[in-house]
Amino acid sequence: MSITSTPYGTLPSGEAVDLFTLTNANGLSAEVTNYGAILVSLNVPDREGALTDVVLGKDSLEDYLAGHPCFGSICGRVAGRIGGASFELDGKTYPLEANYEGISNLHSGPEGFHTMLWKAEIIEDFGVQKLQLQLTDPDGHNGFPGEVHCTVTYALLDNDALEIHYEASSDHTTPFNPTNHSYFNLRGEGDILGHKLQILADSVATVDENCSLIGRRDPVVAGYNDYREPVQLGSLKTLEVGNADIHFFLNEGRTAQAKLAARVIEPDSGRIMEVLTTAPGVQFYAGLSLSEEGPEIGKGGAHHKPMHALCLETQDYADSIHFPEMGNAILKPGETFKSTTLFRFSAQ
Which member of 68, 107, 141, 181 is catalytic? Answer: 181
Which DSSP string corresponds to 44-113?
EE-TTS-EEE-B---SSHHHHHT--S-TTPEE-SB-SEEGGGEEEETTEEEE---TBTTTBEETTSTTSG
Q: Is 308 a catalytic residue?
A: no
Distance of CA 254 to the CA centre of its chain: 17
Q: What is the DSSP letter of 336?
A: -
Distance of CA 198 to the CA centre of its chain: 17
Other Cβ atoms less than 10 A from the Cβ of 160: the count is 19
> 94 Cβ partners below 8 Å, 6+ apart?
86, 87, 88, 143, 144, 145
The Cα 321–Cα 174 span in angstroms is 9
> 24 Cβ partners below 8 Å, 6+ apart?
1, 156, 157, 158, 160
Establish how many alpha carbons lie within 13 A of residue 225's alpha carbon, considering only the half-sphere containing its beta carbon: 24
Which member of 31, 163, 296, 313 is catalytic? Answer: 313
The Cα 32–Cα 211 span in angstroms is 30
Q: Is 181 a catalytic residue?
A: yes
List beta partners, residue 89.
Answer: 92
C-alpha closest to that of 316 among 87, 77, 155: 77
CB 288 within 8 Å of CB 235: no
Other Cβ atoms less than 10 A from the Cβ of 96: the count is 20
CB 122 within 8 Å of CB 156: no
How many residues can be counted in the chain?
A: 348
Catalytic residues: 181, 313
